[in-house]
Chain A
């Protein structure tokens, strides 16, 4: 009972605490020297990127003589699910990014299918993601060949009952990825164009929320991810992302993800991202589409 109360309290307080930190005078100090919007935003897995895909840029605005950090709250509401993410990140010298994220997937309609089909009583799935990203070479703005980074995302399921019942093999897994990002100045009708490509090795089902590995495939597979965006001006970025996904479980087909986003970066401290997301079929429920909203503070 106490455990449940604590859990409830923690869930209510985490967003409040985050917003409190964003609003505090501490956040009014220098926020790093990198040019506006070059920190990307916090992706659903905590790494700096877009919404669904990690990019080669590191979070916050820390440059080569600076520290920086980010806090973010995100929410995706599709037809039959709701995903909430709280994430935090640190950046040292624009060289190393360390991130943590907690994902909570509300199963909404799937609750009944699980109860009838598997006799399971569960209304949400939780996952923790620990991320590390290193900038290998280049600068996203100034290098002719763009900026290149490599990263890992170690994911740990907190509720494995459901993924286990539908055929997932493991309750934890580690994604590895390499990303390249570049801004092309005055490339589209004089506007700046951001291009990102990411290659990921993964065993994760639905990003890990449905566990790792399965009966159809249990090994690492290489997935292509990417995105493009156009800076309308230095505060507004309009773009789209695509993320290829594995299909490891015979229980339900897994589709690729895509989104169309608009990000508003009024200054270095705040980034607001809104998107239309399409997650395809998710755990037998068809054609999951909806809206995504993310708030990020940098310090």
Chain B
């Protein structure tokens, strides 16, 4: 009985050690622009977004959702948005995420397709995995708005 209880304790410890570890690092300071620098500042982000657009056009799962957009404006808005989210000196001036995606009925498949293309675009631009992970973490709060959940 005592043995079994201690084993359960070990299991719970193992599981929650991870949660605690992650909690310690989940609040970077407000003025931290190290991610922005890791992404290669605004020009580096603009290159990633350009490659992302090429990947989107070629992706049958999602390209229909982008038909008829103003490509130059989309490129500028998304670059500004990623720049701002990564701590850079930009201001996103496009529409709110929930409003912009409200009529699109974006599925999880489509969301993951875009996430995959973003990762591939970052890899093509030699963005290190740590910076990729940090940027995706900044994008997570947008998920419910884009999926309209």
Interface residues of A (CB under 8 A from B): 33-35, 63-66, 94, 139, 141-144, 184-193, 195-197, 224-228, 233-234, 240, 242, 244, 247, 256
Contact = CB atoms under 8 A, between A and B. Distances in A.
Contact of A191 (B109, B112, B129, B140): B129
B107 A64 contact: yes
A94 B25 CA distance: 31
Given A63-B107, A228-B18, A33 B129 contact: no
Contacts of B109: 33, 63-66
Interface in B104-149: 107-109, 111-113, 115-116, 119, 129-131, 133-134, 136-137, 140, 143
Given A187-B21, A190-B130, A256-B7, A33 B14 contact: no
B31 interface: no
A299 to B, nearest CB: 17
Contacts of A189: 130
B11 interface: yes
Contacts of A228: 14-15, 17-18
A227 B14 CA distance: 7
Contacts of A225: 11
Contacts of B19: 184, 195
Contacts of A193: 18, 21-22
A188 B25 CA distance: 8
Contacts of A144: 140
A186 B134 contact: yes
Given A33-B113, A139-B108, A195-B19, A242 B130 contact: no
B25 A187 contact: yes
Nearest to A139: B108
Given A188-B22, A193-B18, A228-B17, A65 B107 contact: yes
